Amino acid sequence: MSVVVLVEHTEGNIKKKSLEAIQYAAGIAQKTGTTVSAVVLGTLADNVMQDLGQYGAQKVLHVPDARLNQLHARAYTNALITAAQKEDSKIIIALHDINGRAVAPRLSAKLKAGLVAGALSYPDLTNGFAIKKQVFSGKAFAYVNITSDVKVITLMLNTFPLSKTEGSASIQKLDVNFSDKDFGIRVKETNKITGDIQLADAQLVVSGGRGMKGPENWGLIEGLAKELGAATACSRPVADAHWRPHHEHVGQTGGTVRPDLYIAVGISGAIQHLAGVSGSKTIVVINKDPEAPFFKAANYGVVGDALEILPRLTQAVEKFRQNHK
């Protein structure tokens, strides 16, 4: 018996967020006296898969079908069910991202399994199988007890810090009976997000809202982000107005970030925005309106004009870094 976890990879590397999912699976395996079987779909080098042992996977079940290098929700579901059956697994874990959100409900329906989407804690086994999760766009928490035999969990990103240990996972090829229906979509074009720091993985984020007035002022956001080594993000109206690309939009209808530091500049703090950022460890808000709702969610706040504050803050960070070289 083992805990089965879906692993995501891109350009020959495991995505950092998937390492966290493996580590989470390892924590559950330890609590339940089982092991971790990581499911890798698509083409990936053996040494990269073996290294998953450093995050707690004993075994990798590999389906080396190149069609799986991109998300096919039905095929992924089929592969995970095959893996779970092979391993006699009662717990299946994926990330609470686009892949996990596409696959987990299908798994839940097909296996008649209870699902916790967006887990924020390990299961409390003294209380059944109770897991903490956010509800009402992050306004409250719920503890959900999964009572079914098979359990499906999607883990909220950036919930636990990563730690690496010694270890090497064994690799087994997994045969899956796919049908044509499993590959019902065809990707015609891919526009890759470029940039040094990917928003989903970023530990530091500088984010701008409508208070930045226009795209011509975004150099100020980028300047601070560059000085800090941070990724940039934005509110939805900013992306809707094409000041910034849509992949930077965070919130209920955008991406979810949980960085160590989220600096919100000229963003009011609407509940739909907070839904995507309220898991940040520290929130700093810069807003000219002292009544802006975001201040209620902030650890630190600066009341003032962002266009004046940002250059001074960037300069201060630059000076600090020079003095601490």
Piece of the chain touching ligand FAD by CB under 6 A; list 48-56, 117-125, 173-181, 285-293: 285-293
Alpha-carbon distances of 41 from 9, 73, 153, 177, 291, rounded to whole Å: 9, 12, 19, 14, 49
Q: Residue count at the site for ligand FAD (CB under 6 A)?
A: 27
Cβ at position 218, least distance to ligand FAD in Å = 13
Rounded to 10 degrees, what is the CA torsion of 150, 156, 157, 163?
Answer: -60
Check residue 302 for interaction with ligand FAD (CB under 6 A). Answer: no
Closer CB to ligand FAD, residue 128 or residue 245?
245
Cβ at position 120, least distance to ligand FAD in Å = 19
Binds ligand FAD (CB under 6 A): choice among 23, 89, 154, 268: 268
Cβ at position 313, least distance to ligand FAD in Å = 12
Residue 166: name the closest of 5, 38, 61, 56 by CA.
56
Binds ligand FAD (CB under 6 A): choice among 54, 121, 168, 252: 252
Residues 6+ apart with CB under 8 A from 117: 96, 101, 104, 105, 133, 154
Closer CB to ligand FAD, residue 158 or residue 235?
235
Closer CB to ligand FAD, residue 110 or residue 288?
288
Cβ at position 242, least distance to ligand FAD in Å = 14
Residues 6+ apart with CB under 8 A from 287: 211, 264, 265, 266, 267, 268, 269, 294, 295, 301, 302, 303, 306
Piece of the chain touching ligand FAD by CB under 6 A; list 40-48, 58-66, 135-143, 282-290: 282-290
Residues 6+ apart with CB under 8 A from 191: none
Check residue 307 for interaction with ligand FAD (CB under 6 A). Answer: yes
For the record, the structure tokens of 142 come out as: 């719920």
Binds ligand FAD (CB under 6 A): choice among 70, 288, 311, 318: 288
Burial pattern 213-228, b for ≥16 Cβ within 10 A else e, equals: eeeebbebbebbbbbb
d(CA 92, CA 272): 29
Element (H, E) at 302: strand 300-303
d(CA 193, CA 38): 27
Check residue 159 for interaction with ligand FAD (CB under 6 A). Answer: no
Contact string 191-210 vs ligand FAD (x = CB under 6 A): ------------------xx
Check residue 257 for interaction with ligand FAD (CB under 6 A). Answer: no
Cα angle at 159 between 4 and 254, to 5 degrees? 95
Residue nearest to ligand FAD (CB): 251
SS3 of 316, please?
helix
Check residue 232 for interaction with ligand FAD (CB under 6 A). Answer: no
Piece of the chain touching ligand FAD by CB under 6 A; list 43-51, 90-98, 223-231, 305-313: 305-313
Closer CB to ligand FAD, residue 74 or residue 210?
210
Q: Which residues bind to ligand FAD, rule: CB under 6 A?
A: 209-211, 235-238, 249, 251-254, 266-268, 270, 272-273, 276, 286-289, 292, 305-307
